[in-house]
Structure 1
């Protein structure tokens, strides 16, 4: 989960909502019939909730660079040589430093190190000696995407 992007998105949507709310309170509410005010408040709250939900879904998408790498990268595999747990993450995962033996068809094997958030349900896949699927950027072999 990309927490910094989600936080920025929530802040942007909340500030935008406060601007809309201030405009509504300062100008629109004076020019509308009194009986419609509760419905307008309900509509404003529904719009805010919908914008937050959609914004958080959008913010949790992979970045453009990750999508491009997934589309144009070369598939390979990596054997885990060493896994060092760094710290727990907010969503109950573990940030883990993985030392890998990387193999990409058409080139020599090489070693690399990746920081990856391992979720609790995938913990057994990231043990020492396991083989995982990867995608490597053909132009920069240091850019690696681990297939979940």
Structure 2
């Protein structure tokens, strides 16, 4: 979960909502029939909830670089050589540094290091000696995506 993108999205949507609310309170409310004000408030709250929901969906999408890597990356595998837990994450995972021995067909094996959030249910898959599937950027071998 990308917490920074989510916080930015929530802030952006909230600021937009406050601007719309200020315009509605400062100008539009004077020009509408009083009997429709409760419905307008419900509409404004519904619009805020919808904008927030769509923003959260957009914030959860992978980054452009990750989407490119999913489309054009070379599939390979990595053997986990060393695991170093760094800290717990808010969503019950653990940020972990993995030292890997990467192998991509058509090239020599090389060493790499990745910081990855390991969820509690996947902890048994990320132990030294295990092999995991990876995607490697053909132009930049340091750009790696784990495929657990």
Where on the TM-score scale, by shorter chain, does this alignment land: which range? over 0.9
Distance in 1 of aligned mates of 2:101 and 2:107: 13
C-alpha offsets along residues 90-140 of structure 1, whole Å, 9 cap, x if unaligned? 111100000001010000111111000111221111111111110001111
Matches within 5 A, 1:60-79: 60-79=60-79
1:30 aligns with 2:30: yes
Paired position in structure 2 for 1:86: 86
Paired position in structure 2 for 1:46: 46
Distance in 1 of aligned mates of 2:28 and 2:74: 56
Q: Which runs of 5+ in 2 are unaligned?
A: none
TM-score normalised by L of structure 2:
0.98
CA RMSD of aligned residues (A): 0.7
Paired position in structure 2 for 1:97: 97
Q: Which runs of 5+ in 1 are unaligned?
A: none
TM-score normalised by L of structure 1:
0.98
